Amino acid sequence: MTSHAPIGVAVVGYGLAGQTFHAPLIEATPGLHLTAVVSSRPEAVHADLPDVAVLPDLDAALARDDIGLIVVATPDALHAEQSIAALQAGKSVVVDKPFAATLEQAEAVAAVAADAPGVFSVFQNRRWDADFLTLRRLIAEGELGEIAVFESHYDRFRPTVTDRWKDRRDGGVWADLGPHLIDQAVQLFGPPLGVYADLQAQRVGATAIDYAHVLLRYDRLRVILNMSHLAAEASLRYVVHGTGGSFIKHGLDAQESQSKAGLRPGAPDWGLDPSPGVLTRQIDGGAVRTTPAPERGDYPAFYAAVRDAVRGEAPAPVPADQALIVMRVLDAGLRSAAERREIPL
């Protein structure tokens, strides 16, 4: 049996992404060792990770020979610059979505990644949501027939604008949550033919987009993506209609909330879907409803795949070419909203 030394990992940034997603998942992945965190808040890091080194900046992480993987979990505006620096230093890189602030920056990162010795992957964790895995299985097994309408929601009720950078980011909620919904749609159906987007800042005092209603046009299929910060009833997740039936799902995947509550991957309840979806078929003129067995959410699968990719045993789980499709749809959505027309892809 081949043995491997653990891959040293540095997480750059210790906000929501670094603290809730990356650090716990890395620590739960055999073969990865969380060696350092780059943060200006060492007390916050050491409260959770007392044995992990806290470094002052990215350069300090790049200078260490015991770190082979850099995880970029900083605000969007830093993603491209930091990813390129890490790739050019010979490190492998995982970067949060969106992996750059603009399509042009994303293309520059992809070009560097193509020639770099390290692995490059984008953290599209919601490919491993419990409900998405369930839906993907139902579609693959033909339970819904040919899909006609795929409606995907990621709504919230946050009526008060805060001073957080996410409430000021370019692209707003479209850049924040849009990559999740776009990536899931593309995984199921491939790139769309065209994008039509209605984007708006609706909250009082909002300067960034907080509402997005986007139509992805395929041949006969229509994909609708919806994000709002003014949805007091925000439970709707999927509405999927096909020639064989409909699948309706409420409730968001539990893994983020479980991590925030202190549960860790590997716990008995990790990834269980608390509100499975309902499959409806028309049989003999009547609606027959069943609850398909839900899959278990599996965010740890992402970092297991990254580990295998760094070892040279598997491809990157979300390579640059796949992530660029998401960035092209994001860019098309912004252009569509500005020009009030469909943008062909």
Domains of the chain: 7-118 (3.40.50.720), 126-298+329-344 (3.30.360.10)
For residue 240, the cross-strand partners are 150, 247
Look at residue 137 and tell me whether its pLDDT is greater than 60.
yes
| Chain segment 147-189, per-residue pLDDT in tens | 999 999 999 999 999 888 777 888 999 999 999 999 999 999 9
With 0-12 / 13-18 / 19 or more C-beta atoms within 10 angstroms meaning exposed / middle / buried, residue 35 is buried
Nearest to 325 by CA among 129, 144, 98, 28: 98
Q: Has residue 96 got a pLDDT over 60?
A: yes
Q: How confident is the model at residue 31, as a pLDDT?
A: 98
Helix (H, G, I), strand (E, B) or coil at 298: coil
pTM: 0.96
H runs (alpha helix) in 73-228: 76-88, 103-115, 130-140, 172-176, 178-189
pLDDT at position 2 is 57
pLDDT at residue 167, rounded to an integer: 78
Q: What is the pLDDT of residue 3?
A: 66
Task: State the Cα–Cα distance between residues 78 and 76, nearest whole angstrom.
Answer: 5
Averaged pLDDT of the chain: 96
